[in-house]
Copies of this chain bind each other. A is one copy, B any other.
């Protein structure tokens, strides 16, 4: 761990000034003889430029941060997987912040931009408070927010459209002849919780189905909670023939409970999840799920940020990613599901940007394919 050589060391070694060293290293016009001597010295000494010093001078770190609640969440994970290569290709390193869905943490991250340890930030706030808006306005580096943010927040914004998403699912279920379509939501006081609840009512309306309180259960966005909620639902409304779940984990819990209750999926009860995570394809029966385009949102966010880093002064932009329905066995049965193709959704990563990259052979430690 010897102290590394600096341009000073090289200058001495090569018998030139540090300015010449810098010039050579940056490819500025220099006498050939000098170039040779500098390069040789650099080579011999194993010189590597100090990025911190360079950053201080250039005011760029070539680092970008991504802040989300928890990297263990498959939705955020899908985003990271897209964000990382895009940034990397542009020469940026990726820094990860797990905010644990804590508002104070999120605000800290925003204020932390003043430390200038990154050139920009992609963030998914749990919810958007007043504090967020003022912190965003005062941010000392470009920020891209994933998740809806009010007009005039002054930041680039990537959204999805859960309204349409829920609508796709309910239309699908309706088309399959389902009429008693229950809804299992997460907490109503979260942004997505509220949005999805509203979307459910709207979709029912559009289909001319009555809104029945007995068919709605609110729990949390976890598997165990999903199970609990579905048990409650079945007790209360034994005639449900479809479950719209506010995310895939809830849906997995639903599958567990239905299986134990002896209800066949999808014959007796069809189940739809949301987010179209990797888990949907692994579940049995495989899970029909509304894709909210996590990967595409991640990619879009990265691209917006890069663009803004080149071009700091353009107007803030809003990108909306359209939801899709990934049809699988939990609504149409295993046989039909195969006809839809292996996973229903048409290439989540979109536009030739392949989501699941070839990872070579990691031997027992591989991503899903």
Which A residues have a C-beta under 8 Å from some C-beta of B?
1, 4, 46-53, 55-56, 61, 63, 69-77, 80-81, 84-85, 88, 93-98, 100-102, 111-112, 114-117, 124, 126, 138-142, 162, 186-187, 190-193, 196, 220-224, 246-247, 249, 252, 255, 259, 274-275, 278-279, 282-284, 312, 356-369
Main secondary structure of the interface of A (DSSP, over half): loop
Residue of B nearest to A247 (CB): B364
Q: A84 CA to B175 CA in the complex, in Å?
A: 46
Partner of A312, one of B1, B162, B196: B1
Distance in Å from the Cβ of A261 to the closest Cβ of chain B? 14
List the B side residues contacting A52 at CB < 8 Å.
Answer: 52, 55-56, 61, 116-117
Partner of A98, one of B55, B84, B249: B84
Q: A258 CA to B348 CA in the complex, in Å?
A: 28
Partner of A142, one of B1, B75, B98, B362: B1
List the B side residues contacting A282 at CB < 8 Å.
Answer: 252, 279, 282-283
Q: A278 CA to B252 CA in the complex, in Å?
A: 13
List the B side residues contacting A361 at CB < 8 Å.
Answer: 101, 126, 186-187, 190, 193, 220-221
Q: Are B365 and A192 in contact (CB under 8 A)?
A: yes
List the B side residues contacting A84 at CB < 8 Å.
Answer: 71, 96, 98
List the B side residues contacting A138 at CB < 8 Å.
Answer: 46
Q: Are B193 and A363 in contact (CB under 8 A)?
A: yes
Q: Are B222 and A364 in contact (CB under 8 A)?
A: no
Partner of A140, one of B1, B249, B279: B1
Q: A71 CA to B140 CA in the complex, in Å?
A: 29
List the B side residues contacting A81 at CB < 8 Å.
Answer: 70-72
Q: A80 CA to B81 CA in the complex, in Å?
A: 14
Distance in Å from the Cβ of A281 to the closest Cβ of chain B? 9
Q: Are A186 and B364 in contact (CB under 8 A)?
A: yes
Partner of A72, one of B115, B187, B247, B367: B367
Q: Are B96 and A94 in contact (CB under 8 A)?
A: yes
Distance in Å from the Cβ of A177 to the closest Cβ of chain B? 26
Q: A295 CA to B2 CA in the complex, in Å?
A: 33
Distance in Å from the Cβ of A333 to the closest Cβ of chain B? 14
- Interface-central residue, A76, A80, A282, by most chain B CB under 10 Å: A282
List the B side residues contacting A283 at CB < 8 Å.
Answer: 282-284
Q: Are B77 and A368 in contact (CB under 8 A)?
A: no
Distance in Å from the Cβ of A203 to the closest Cβ of chain B? 16
Q: A145 CA to B70 CA in the complex, in Å?
A: 24
17 intermolecular pairs with C-beta atoms under 8 Å apart: A49-B115, A51-B115, A52-B55, A69-B359, A71-B71, A73-B365, A84-B98, A85-B98, A93-B117, A94-B95, A95-B96, A190-B363, A193-B364, A221-B364, A255-B284, A275-B365, A278-B279
